[in-house]
Structure 1
Amino acid sequence: MGISGMFDEKTLPGAAPLEVLPDILRHQAERLGEAPFLDICGQTASFAGLDRLTNRLANGLRGLGVAQGDRVAILLPNCLEFVAVWFAASKLGAVEVPSNPGLRGDLLIHNLHSCDAAVLVTDGAALDEIARIEDRLPHLKTLVLVGADEAQARAAGVRVAQIVTYADCLDAPEAFSPVEVRFSDPMAILYTSGTTGAAKGVVMSHRQCFGWTETMSRNLGYTPADSYFSALPLFHTDAQMFGIYMPLVFGTRTTLVDRFSASKFWDQLRASGATATNLLGAMAVILMRAPALASDADNPVRVCQCIPMLPDRAAFERRFTMNLVTGYGQTETSFVTLDIVGDSRENSCGRPHPDWEVAVVDAFDSPVPPGTMGEIVSRPRTSWAMFSGYDKQDGKTVQTLRNLWYHSGDAGYFDADGWMYFSHRMNEAIRRRGENVSAYEVELIAEQHPDVVESAAFGIPSEYTEEDIMVVVLRRDGSRLTATDLLAHFRAHAPRHMVPRYVEITDDPLPRTPTEKISRAALKQRGKGPATFDGETR
């Protein structure tokens, strides 16, 4: 099924009539030539320029042995090289597997080991960590370095068999012999945090990724007359599917920056000229809390997606003169509910997308009446529109897709008019500023400290929307471990989004369930207390 089966072509003139990434890029390169496409952290590429660049890079990767179905791991910040590796891998029928470059230790080992990637594309910032963990990465054979070389890698202690530079890979012919890439083939494996275990690799087909374009464009009312801006990281769906893939399909300009900065955001947005963008709820809160400026209304954006939606949507829209829209979905699906400009309902995350069946069910997967809380489940009405499973985790795939529904682990309800409302997460994941954080992984890091006997991590409602992370730890007898000591440990061993805000050190046993498990629920219900240390106010 091509674009005609998923879009109303009357509203999308000029959109690519294809749904496999290499074909879309080639089509737009032929149609739009040297028209500007991508500006990412000051690096630029036209449609045709990116096609030529990725032909050479694909040939270079092919020379390293990358073939159809192989996984290519990416550990980079936002940069043109990230996009080029992703696109070049797709031309080979290979699968891009990006990870957060802030990951360290066991969390990084899990991602790089579980995907079986023989080739890792990274930069000099990761060399010390790669040297420290490579003995636990038996599949890793080749490093491709961006902005660094073999001498630097060897000086850092890296012993991987083959080390080449990104520039070496580009020293290849531009003529490319394509391989057949099918809509059902995997394009990417994106990691999403588990609830009580390690991160799961979500296998995403070309058709599923293309479907993200349809849902996001419907949400925003995006057309070929628009352009996009993103301040989110490329190792997640937001920047990849919204910031890169959707503008590619529509043949529009797109701008990405390295990270969100409240002090730079509006100037960056104005400089981009973008008419559409997206914000996580916490980002929107931070922007609203900044002092009002006369220039607040001076920006080119007509529409912005915000998830979760701000409690006072209208105040944001008035101050920054733009429309806000919202939706609900997961990496495993896409947006299964959404609203559009001029058709929304307060506190709702929208109505079901026409291509998705969405229900709220009880413990037996039976739909519950409007106004009744239950678990949000969904399933597509079109083939290959959702994830192809969790990589090498068949049991979790079957459990998540039981009874032919994707089980979100989220609680919510429908009103009598079919608008859906998200309430809370039913599982033990912590939703912090757009990231799903595994309580299990936070505890794993805490318990790597020699003075921690056991720990419990959970979410605390945040003034920035969603949750902040709190961890309570039982310290070893005789230890003088402090909250600042533990936070320093987290900052050394965890990415920034997993560093707790609230820390409590105790010498008393943690509460248990009747089955002798630590009761996170009891600690969460108790919440902060006099002994709780707030890392953001000290």
Structure 2
Amino acid sequence: MGCMDQGAALSSEARQSAQRLALPALLQARAARDGDAPLFSDRRTRWSAAQALEIAARRAGSLAAQGIRRGDRVALLCSNRSEFMEIVLGCGWLGAVVVPINTASRGMQLEHILANSGARLLVAETQLVSAVYALDAARVALESIWLIDSHEDGEADEIARRTASPVQRQTLPPLAEPIAAADLGDGDPLAILYTSGTSGLSKGVICPHAQFFWWARYTAANLGVVRGDVLYTCLPLFHTNALNAFFQALTYDAELVADRRFSASGFFNALIETNATVTYVLGAMVPILLGRAATAQERAHRVRIALAPGVPGHFQQAFTDRCGIALLDGYGSTETNFVLGGGIDEQRPGLMGKLAAGFDARVVDENDHPLPDGVAGELIVRSDTPFAFASGYFGMPDKTVEAWRNLWFHTGDRVVREADGYYRFVDRLKDAIRRRGENISSYEVEQVLLSHPAVETAAVFAVQSEFAEDEVMASLVLREGALLEALELIRFCEPRLPYFAVPRFLDFVGDLPRTENGKIQKYKLRERGITATAWDLEKSGYKLKRS
């Protein structure tokens, strides 16, 4: 074989290998292995692997009939239900890019996501879509909205009928005739997942097909997922964690059961009812569950292990002893993968684990110079495998270059590498807040606070909660002569922010600490913490609406 012929053969082989990591090929391979085995359930609807394959091809057909083409973005505002996965599969089959949106998004954040992504079509549950109608239609590219009629909120449906909007609306169309899968490679984008900005607006993380495949491989390997496992999640599918769980089920011949939401009182009953063997929790969920009175249901399930990033070390063994579920820690982000971790036998409470094969990591100073073991610095990471990480931030080339400078992804997290190779999380360098598993941009919260006519200056920052995670606190300076009650400001924020981003603590002050050039010194506010004058939403008795 000549050099050119050999090169062509290698190129063809590489192309075929890349195609095997794209969603259409994964669906076809799973259906070929065992098409009748269950793959996905939302506890109301259940699909086998063969049915999921058919749904992908037919939902792609209905998207194509709407005029959606390869590379177009399709926004998705939907809770955990089968229609969510229908749209993901249809987009993945067609070569379109799905843009899942946090169902709590409101106002400026929601408008930015729709405008930045350039989504032409929005698929939304009827009871959620009123937040979209409240936006300035001229600022977004939406042409059509498909409404998922949940039959749960007649008021929202009435709002949809009464609201004047140039955007066409229709009920989610039925599945169309199947179409052929797009010719996709491992680097083609499957989703854009918006993660909160640290000093600006939310960034759309471009997640290629292969990133989800490798997320599934690394996560499932660490969890020990095997054929026939039932994976149960009550975490939202619009986040990496739960969406990754679907790909674990797909590639490891398991089933994913996606429940509507987390319920502390119903969690263990749900594990029993779904016959789950593996589950997923966030750091704050474990102390909440341990804070309840023990019940027989806590030991009546089949779950052997849970992916549990960020659970404080002193809770881990207590939870396992009480509930019989081993907790697996690790480290990853929407932009990266399961970079740090290991199997359950490699776990050490309070540590994130060791570097996984296929990745590289360094702890560095502010100039990216490596620091010795035992010294805290920023964690930077990279992958040896093509497209195991995100491809950048959509429509934000400057932010992409900044985050991937020197060809390493800069996590913004401050960590220590121990002498034995284990990594310990210290804190976040970025000006972001993580509350109840949600990333919150202090910038976005500040913009809402500053839009109130009585507020002159606002600084939003994290303070420690009783659940070992962050709470949102705001220090505010009012305009001269203005009067403002704390609860009035909370009610102002409520329709403009996701419920989890509404500040818990408000502190009205005369001035804020600043640098010589006038910049607010947030580190001083964080060091000060919850002041004696701070107003506490939790103690006020007022309950935020969560829809």
Corresponding residue number in structure 2 for 1:84: 86
Structure 2 unmatched ranges of 5 or more: 1-9, 541-547
Q: In the TM superposition, what is the alpha-carbon distance from 1:439 to its structure 2 partner? A: 0.9
Map 1:73-472 onto structure 2 (within 5 A): 73-147=75-149, 155-166=161-172, 168-170=173-175, 172-173=176-177, 175-242=178-245, 244-312=246-314, 313-472=316-475
Q: How does 1:61-80 map onto structure 2 within 5 Å?
A: 61-80=63-82
1:66 to 1:315, Cα distance in 2 relative to 1, 3 A = same
Greater CA drift, 45-54 or 190-199: 45-54
What amino acid is the match of 1:49? Q
2:25 corresponds in structure 1 to: 23
Structure 1 alignment gaps of length 5 or more: 6-16
State how many pairs are aligned: 519
Residue pair 2:284, 2:311 contacting (<8 A) in 1 also: no
The offset of 1:178, in angstroms, is 2.2
- 1:364, distance to aligned residue in structure 2 (A): 2.0
Distance between the aligned counterparts of 1:332 and 1:151, measured in 2? 36
Write the letter of the residue equivalent to 2:536: D
Deviates more, 1:528-537 or 1:39-48: 39-48
CA-CA distance at 1:406 after TM superposition = 0.7
Q: TM-score, normalised by structure 2?
A: 0.91
Q: How far off is 1:126 after superposition? A: 3.0
Q: Using the alignment, how far apart are the partners of 1:114 and 1:156 within structure 2? A: 27
Matched AA of 2:284 = A
Q: Is the 8 A contact 2:57 2:181 kept in 1?
A: no
* Aligned residue identity for 2:290: M
The question of 1:494 aligning with 2:497 is answered yes
CA deviation profile, 1:181-223 (whole Å, cap 9, x unmatched): 1111001100011111000000011111111001111221111
Cα deviation for residue 128 of structure 1 reads 2.5
1:527 alignment partner, one of 509, 512, 529 = 529
The CA deviation at 1:68 is: 0.7
User: Quick one: which amino acid aligns to residue 126 of structure 1?
Assistant: L
Once the two structures are TM-superposed, the CA of residue 39 in structure 1 deviates from its matched residue by: 1.5
Q: Deviations over 1:447-488 (max 9, x none)?
A: 122211110100001221221111111122333311111122
In 1, distance between residues paired with 2:406 and 2:48? 46
Deviation at 1:155, TM superposition (A): 2.1
Whole-angstrom CA distance in 1 between matches of 2:160 and 2:324? 53
17-26 vs 229-238, which moves further:
17-26
Whichever residue aligns with residue 297 of structure 2, its letter is S
Structure 1 residues 128 and 151, CA, compared in 2 at 3 Å: closer, same or farther?
Answer: closer
- Going from structure 1 to structure 2, the CA distance change for 1:533 and 1:124 (only over 3 Å counts) comes to same
SS of the aligned residue for 2:243 comes to: helix
- 1:391 deviates by 0.4
Q: Is contact 1:482–1:505 with CA below 8 Å preserved after alignment?
A: no
TM-score w.r.t. length of structure 1: 0.93
| Compared CA separation, residues 57 and 471, structure 1 to 2 (3 A) | same
The Cα of 1:41 is off from its aligned counterpart by: 4.3
CA distance in 2, matches of 1:126, 1:217: 33
How far apart are 1:99 and its partner, in Å? 0.6
Task: Tell me: CA distance 1:31–1:465, structure 2 relative to 1, closer, same or farther (3 Å).
Answer: same
Contact 2:21 2:185 in 1 (8 A): no
State the percentage of identical aligned residues: 35
Matched letter for residue 48 of structure 1: A
Q: Is the 8 A contact 2:55 2:89 kept in 1?
A: no
Structure 1 match to 2:543: none
2:363 is paired with a residue whose SS is strand
**SS state at 2:281 partner:** strand
Q: CA shift at 1:148, angstroms? A: 7.2
Residue identity matched to 2:357: P
Map of 1:8 onto structure 2: none
Moved more, 494-503 or 388-397: 494-503
Q: CA deviation at 1:284?
A: 0.9
Structure 1 pair 474/250, CA: closer, same or farther in 2 (3 Å)? same
Q: Cα gap change, 1:116/1:228 in structure 2, threshold over 3 Å: closer, same or farther?
A: same
Q: Distance in 2 between matches of 1:274 and 1:249?
A: 18
Write the distance in 2 (CA, Å) between the matches of 1:50 and 1:218: 24
SS in 2 for 1:423: strand
Secondary structure in structure 1 of the residue aligned to 2:39? strand
How far apart in 2 are the matches of 1:382 and 1:297? Answer: 40
Give the 3 Å change call, closer, same or farther, for CA 236–533 of structure 1 in structure 2.
same
Encode CA deviations 1:194-253: one digit per residue, 9 max, x unaligned. 1110000000111111110011112211111422000111111011012x1110111211
Letter in 1 for 2:381: S
- Is the contact made by 1:73 and 1:98 (CA closer than 8 Å) also made in structure 2? yes
Structure 1 residues 295 and 140, CA, compared in 2 at 3 Å: closer, same or farther? closer
Distance 1:376 1:386 in 2: 15
Give per-residue Cα distances to partners, 1:330-372, cap 9 Å, x unaligned: 1100111003212222311000010110111112212111111
Q: Which one-letter code corresponds to 2:149 in the other structure?
A: G
Q: How does 1:29-48 map to 2 (within 5 A)?
A: 29-48=31-50
Comparing 420-429 with 296-305, greater Cα deviation is found at 296-305
Amino acid at match of 2:342: D
Q: Once the 2 structures are TM-superposed, how far is the Cα of residue 414 of structure 1 from its aligned partner?
A: 0.9
In structure 2, what residue type is equivalent to 1:233? P
The 1:19–1:466 alpha-carbon spacing in structure 2 relative to 1, beyond 3 Å, is same
The AA in structure 1 aligned to 2:358 is D
Q: Partner amino acid for 1:363?
A: E
Distance in structure 1 (CA, Å) of the matches to 2:164 and 2:83: 22
Amino acid at match of 1:520: K
Rounded to whole Å, the distance in 2 between the matches of 1:523 and 1:378 is: 30
Q: CA deviation at 1:53?
A: 2.3
Alpha-carbon separation, structure 2, partners of 1:156 and 1:31: 49
Q: Secondary structure at the match of 1:523?
A: helix
- State the 1:153 CA deviation: 6.7
CA RMSD for the aligned pairs? 1.9
* 2:519 alignment partner in structure 1: 517
Change (3 A) 1:151 1:526: closer
For the Cα contact (< 8 Å) 2:189–2:207, is it kept in 1? Answer: yes
8 Å contact kept, 1:124–1:153:
no
